[in-house]
Amino acid sequence: MKITVKLNQGQLPKKYGKFGDAADFKGAYPLRSFPISIYEQPAQTVSFALTLIDPDSIPVAGFSWIHWTAANLPGDLTEIPENSSQKPPFSMIQGKNSTASPYIQEKDPLICQHYVGPTPPQGVHNYELRIYALDQKLALAPGFWMNELLHAMEGHILTHQKIILPYRG
């Protein structure tokens, strides 16, 4: 399986994070997710799951910041279109991101259970996008935590891919 995200001069385009259009923000949070292409997935793929984290946030937050988790995306997808987190053109469930943590306590599910774009304070952060091809749909409810996703995927991952998406603060 291969995944691609179109970069601009080697970085995630500015519109998918802190330099995005004001119309794509809710409060301080950029919410327009970027498009993802998926190809050469195993024929047995029933569903996909994804995670987007920022391990470069550890010195700032004390942990890897979770920006997006989703599961039960259709196994025949070849493209996850732009803004699919807020306006999904297919069925999927989305989990909590780090704004739902006890440190932030965001309650609005349009923020805490969807994509929240990069907002690094300075310098370049390298965001890790992982797409998992799975042999079944997962028994998860909307608003699941990332650890619940990781446990539910155990024994069901056909393959996965990781790409790094740099974004400058």
Q: What is the mean pLDDT of each run of 10 residues along the chain (169 residues)?
A: 98 97 96 98 98 95 96 98 98 98 94 97 96 98 98 98 96
Please give the helix or strand (H or E) that residue 148 lies within, else none.
Answer: helix 146-153
Count how many domains the chain has. 1
Which residues neighbour 166 within 8 Å (Cβ) at sequence distance 6 or greater?
7, 10, 11, 12, 124, 125, 126, 127
Q: How far, in Å, CA of 61 to CA of 151, rounded?
A: 24
C-beta separation of 52 from 149 below 8 A? no
pLDDT at residue 169 in the model: 87
Q: How far, in Å, CA of 144 to CA of 113, rounded?
A: 8
Cα separations (Å) of 109 from 112, 116, 152?
5, 11, 22
CATH number reported for the structural domain that contains residue 95 in this entry: 3.90.280.10
- CA angle (75 as vertex; 73, 77 as ends), nearest 5: 80
First to last CA, the chain: 31
pLDDT at residue 124 in the model: 96
pLDDT at residue 117 in the model: 98
Q: Which one, of 155, 130, 8, 11, lies nearest residue 71 by Cα? A: 130
Domain extent for 76: 2-168
pLDDT at residue 30 in the model: 98
pLDDT at residue 60 in the model: 87
